[in-house]
Every structure is written in structure tokens, then in C-alpha cells.
Amino acid sequence: MEFVCNSKTKSRSESWKGQVVSLNDINGSYELRIESRSSIHVIVGKTKHGGFACMPDFGAGCHIANFRDIFWNTEKLVKVLGKVDGITVGAALYALADKFEI
């Protein structure tokens, strides 16, 4: 599945493409591999306190909202991954929103 990532500031706008190259349901959690400017392994799931995203190769994780809330998710992901990778993962989760729900 391909998706588009967008970064906008007051003076600059930038877009790049990403692709979810694998998606697996692991007992109600999901494991995905994203290829874009970097390669990112992501595990998403739900606890009684809400959703989470874990990026083990980056040693990072955070809480997330449902996949359609691109603003909240991207804001949280940028804090733990940096701007480009956080935007990329946020856009991938948004693109997958119809596939599964947290």
C-alpha cells in the first residue's frame, strides 16, 4: 500500500511517498514494515489505556489515538522519532485506518 507524507511550515511545503511493504495481525496487535526515506518496523496495538506504537529499531514508542487522528498521532510520533520518520509513520497509520481500528 502506497501513501503520501506531507510536511508544511509557514515558509515551506514538502511531500514524499511511503509504502507499507508488510502488514501482519499478531493476536490483535499489528506489525508493519514501512519503506520511505528510511525503513521502519512498527508494532501497534491497544491496552486498556489506549493505543500504542512501538518502533523497536529506534528504541522508541508512544501512545496513539485511533488511526484516523493523523494530527495527534503525528504529533506524538514526531516527538519520539524525529520529524520525517514521525510524519511517515503517522501517514502510514492514517492510510491503514480502514484496514483495522485501535
pTM of this prediction?
0.93
Tens digits of per-residue pLDDT, 19-61?
999 999 998 899 999 999 999 999 999 988 889 999 999 999 9
Residue 10 confidence (pLDDT): 86
96 CB contacts (<8 Å, ≥6 apart)? Answer: 1, 20, 23, 32, 67
98 CB contacts (<8 Å, ≥6 apart)? Answer: none
Query: Distance of CA 57 to CAs 13, 60, 94, Å?
Result: 28, 8, 21
Tens digits of per-residue pLDDT, 79-100?
999 999 999 999 999 999 988 7
Residue 102 confidence (pLDDT): 62
Query: Mean pLDDT across the stretch 65-71?
Result: 92
**What are the residue ranges of helices labelled H in 1-102?**
70-81, 83-95
Residue 28 confidence (pLDDT): 85
> Does position 8 have pLDDT exceeding 80, yes or no?
yes
